[in-house]
Amino acid sequence: MPEGPEIRQSADALANVLQNQKINKVTVGLESLKPFQSELSGQLVTQVSCRGKAMLLHFDNDLSIYSHNQLYGRWVIVPLDELPETNRSLRLGLHTDEHSALLYSASDISVWPSEKLSEHPFLRKLGPDILNQTVTPEVIQQRVTSSQFCKRSLAALYLDQSFLAGMGNYLRSEILFFAGIHPDKKPADLSDEQINHLAEQTLQITYRSYETGGYTTSISASVRAQHSAAEYEAERFMVFDREGQSCRRCNETILRAERSSRRIYFCPQCQRGNNVSAANNSPA
């Protein structure tokens, strides 16, 4: 599932072609959207934004489209009338004078009065968006040490969208590695210095991924530009999806475990802490 950085990149791309543009035609592939087809046609897109992993499109008639990609959804932007060849199901198409923004395969799409969007059952449960400029290290420190969150394992906490919206599986592995903290540790177990470092790394790694197109490693832009697709996958992470490989820092073997029914990766040397039993490990 795309995480906060990827959704924000998609929002940027959509804003580039839709924001302040009139939607001449709306194509819908879900019965639930058909009543809004005429209401959205001819309207101006006033803003494209995202919150966590949800995409939000706002129109000048005070309606907003909520969508969540979940596992298979994908936005595609093409020149007008140049539809891609694909086996995916088109759920929503927004067509301007020059471009078509097409949402394929997603099923969680709805139209809301803009003033009631905060009542959406998913949005109302979300914590602050990790890429919102109002989220600072101090905000993260306050949340992670609050009574609501401080006694939960970091492995579980860093997947909880009510803690920080937009966090996800690769981000939690990478952030905890850079913070030097074992996934089974709880915020209540940590020193003030560790909490501060964790908060700083949470923002730094998330923004690095957003700005570099998915890298959490500190690879220069010139090197990234030369990477093939295979090199991209091999070099983008420090620990995530690197079970059995050597840690890029200490050469210890990267381990994989299951936490919150999701795979997590860590270095037992760089992230010393609670032991992960063999029973909790899972094969690749």
The pairing of strands 54-59 and 45-51 is antiparallel
Residues 68 and 108 sit within 8 Å (Cβ to Cβ) = yes
Residue from 65, 67, 44 nearest 113 by CA: 65
- 2 labelled catalytic: yes
- The C-alpha torsion from 186 through 190 and 194 to 199, rounded to 10°, is 40
SS3 101: strand
- 53 labelled catalytic: yes
Q: Which of 2, 128, 183, 187 is catalytic?
A: 2
- 193 labelled catalytic: no
Q: Which of 152, 258, 262, 268 is catalytic?
A: 262
Q: Which of 6, 8, 51, 53 is catalytic?
A: 53
The 10 Å Cβ neighbour count of residue 42 is 13
Tokens found for residue 81: 């009338």
- 22 labelled catalytic: no
Q: Which of 3, 8, 187, 236 is catalytic?
A: 3
Strands (E), 25-181: 25-28, 45-51, 54-59, 63-68, 74-79, 90-95, 99-104, 108-113
Residues annotated as part of the active site: 2-3, 53, 262
